[in-house]
């Protein structure tokens, strides 16, 4: 099978397409023929070991010193079950599945194994592989942080970084929760954020939203600490909650994935896809994601 292999940390060019043996499932695993994957901010952070200070050491301890021990990256996958291990129940060859293998990786390949007690579930009939791959990462993370924020129906939320993978999911999920949503993004993304349901959109290149005299119950920084021009203390109501995407490392559950699937099936949320690259162009895909301005998601597709 073809796979993108990362044997050392560095720029996108460290990714090399190689021919590797097709994986065989352990007793509790399925093999998925991957149809679509996603290049997420996390994939790029891992590929480049793009963390600072003590986190550089901690990440190398956890993932590998000179390069990732698991050299095929890619956390998100959507595809078709190709074979099943002896003890697998509930999945059959041909099932359309999607999921998130945050620590196992392996989706940047034509086939990947995953244990069936991990984050993998069947797709809805009306979902495409691309939609499934696009909603998973941002949807799971946005769901975690919105729940952590305690956002309630009728409350006002400011979502900073509303046009990224996490932000586009957060705008839709916050609307689904009944909140009044203001999204913050750059000029070219204002229309899409509005179309996703935001009640108001602020273009951070034109408006200093910290000084508008508007106040929110929740401020969600979905862009990350490095990009901050946000002063939560200036826009939060008394007792308001500030939550940032770089706080902690969420552990989503299978019920979260099933919940997202249901919302997709019901048309409550939709996947936002910026660009799609074939596996052979994964270096270009990483270069684009590294810029930090994708609109929603960047996908990898397979024949």
Ligand X SMILES: NC(=O)c1ccc[n+]([C@@H]2O[C@H](COP(=O)([O-])OP(=O)(O)OC[C@H]3O[C@@H](n4cnc5c(N)ncnc54)[C@H](OP(=O)(O)O)[C@@H]3O)[C@@H](O)[C@H]2O)c1
Minimum CB distance to ligand X, residue 162 (Å): 6
Residue 186 interacts with ligand X (CB under 6 A): yes or no = yes
Of the chain, the end-to-end C-alpha distance in Å amounts to 12
Find the shortest distance in angstroms from Cβ 185 to ligand X.
Answer: 4
Footprint of ligand X on 249-268 (CB under 6 A): 249-250
The DSSP code for 290 is H
Among 38, 107, 149, 189, binds ligand X (CB under 6 A): 189
Mode of pairing for the β-strands spanning 297-301 and 273-278: parallel
Distance, C-alpha 56 to centroid of its chain: 22
Least CB distance from residue 187 to ligand X, whole Å? 8
What sign does the CA torsion over 48, 53, 55, 61 have?
A: positive
> Is the Cβ of residue 128 or residue 210 nearer to ligand X in the bound state?
210
Q: At its nearest, how many Å lie between ligand X and the CB of residue 34?
A: 20
- In whole angstroms, the minimum distance from the beta carbon of 227 to ligand X comes to 4
CA angle 283, 288, 293 (to 5 degrees): 160
Contact 89, 121 (CB under 8 A): no
The interface mask with ligand X, positions 156-185, x = CB under 6 A, is: -----xxxxxxx-----------------x
* Of the candidates 226, 228, 289, the residue with the CA atom closest to the CA atom of residue 51: 226
For residues 299 and 134, the answer to whether their CB atoms sit within 8 Å is yes
* From 83-91, 105-113, 125-133, 223-231, span contacting ligand X (CB under 6 A): 223-231
Per-residue contact flags (x/-) with ligand X for residues 138 to 157, judged by CB under 6 A: x-------------------
- Tell me which residue of 146, 192, 186 sits closest to 166, measured CA to CA: 146
> Which residue's beta carbon is nearest to the bound ligand X?
164
Among 77, 204, 216, 302, which residue interacts with ligand X (rule: CB under 6 A)?
Answer: 204
CB 277 within 8 A of CB 284: yes
Measured CA to CA, the distance from residue 177 to residue 259 in angstroms comes to 13
With H, G, I as helix, E, B as strand and everything else as coil, classify residue 136.
Answer: helix
What is the full DSSP assignment across 46-103?
HHHT---THHHHHHHHHH-SSS-SS-B---EEEEEEEEE-TT--S--TT-EEEEE-TT
Runs of H (alpha helix) within 150-253: 165-176, 190-195, 232-235
Q: Rounded to the nearest whole angstrom, what is the least distance from the CB of residue 95 to ligand X in the complex?
A: 28
How many whole angstroms from its chain centre is CA 232?
24
Q: How far is the CB of 29 from ligand X (least distance, A)?
A: 25
Cα-to-chain-centroid distance, residue 11:
20
| Nearer Cβ to ligand X (249/255) | 249
Nearest-approach distance from CB 93 to ligand X, in angstroms: 33
Residues 71-100 that bind ligand X (CB under 6 A): none
The window from 46-54, 113-121, 146-154, 288-296 that contacts ligand X (CB under 6 A) reads 288-296
Stretch that binds ligand X, among 80-88, 103-111, 115-123, 292-300 (CB under 6 A): 292-300
Point out which span in 22-30, 73-81, 217-225, 233-241 binds ligand X (CB under 6 A): 217-225
The C-alpha atoms of residue 117 and residue 48 are separated, in whole angstroms, by: 30
Residues that bind ligand X (CB under 6 A): 40-42, 138, 161-167, 185-186, 189, 204, 222-224, 227, 229, 245-246, 249-250, 292-294
């Amino acid at each position: 099978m073809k796979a993108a292999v990362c044997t050392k940390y560095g720029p996108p060019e460290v990714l090399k397409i190689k021919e590797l043996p097709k994986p065989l499932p352990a007793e509790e695993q399925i093999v998925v023929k991957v149809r679509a994957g996603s290049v997420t901010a996390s994939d790029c952070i891992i590929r480049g070991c793009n963390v600072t200070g003590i986190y550089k050491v901690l990440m190398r301890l956890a993932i590998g010193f000179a390069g990732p021990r698991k050299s095929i990256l890619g956390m998100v996958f959507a595809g078709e079950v190709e074979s099943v291990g002896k003890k697998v129940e509930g999945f059959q060859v041909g099932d359309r599945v999607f999921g998130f293998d945050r620590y196992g990786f392996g989706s940047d390949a034509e086939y990947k194994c995953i244990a069936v007690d991990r984050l993998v579930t069947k797709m809805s009939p009306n979902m495409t592989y691309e939609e499934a791959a696009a909603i998973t990462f941002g949807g799971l993370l946005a769901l975690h942080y919105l729940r952590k924020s305690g956002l309630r129906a009728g409350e006002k939320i400011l979502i900073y970084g509303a046009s990224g993978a996490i932000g586009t999911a957060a705008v839709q999920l916050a609307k689904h929760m009944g909140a009044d949503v203001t999204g913050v993004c750059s000029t070219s993304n204002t229309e899409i954020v509005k179309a996703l349901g935001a009640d108001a959109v602020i273009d951070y290149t034109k408006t200093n939203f910290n000084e508008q005299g508007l106040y929110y119950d929740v401020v969600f920084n979905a862009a990350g600490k490095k990009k901050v021009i946000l002063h939560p203390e200036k826009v939060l109501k008394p007792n308001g909650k500030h939550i940032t995407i770089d706080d902690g490392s969420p552990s989503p559950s299978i019920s979260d994935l099933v919940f997202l699937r249901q919302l997709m099936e019901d048309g409550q949320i939709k996947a936002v896809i910026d660009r799609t690259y074939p596996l052979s162009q994964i270096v270009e895909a990483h270069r684009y994601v590294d810029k930090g301005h994708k609109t929603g998601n960047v996908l990898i597709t397979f024949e």
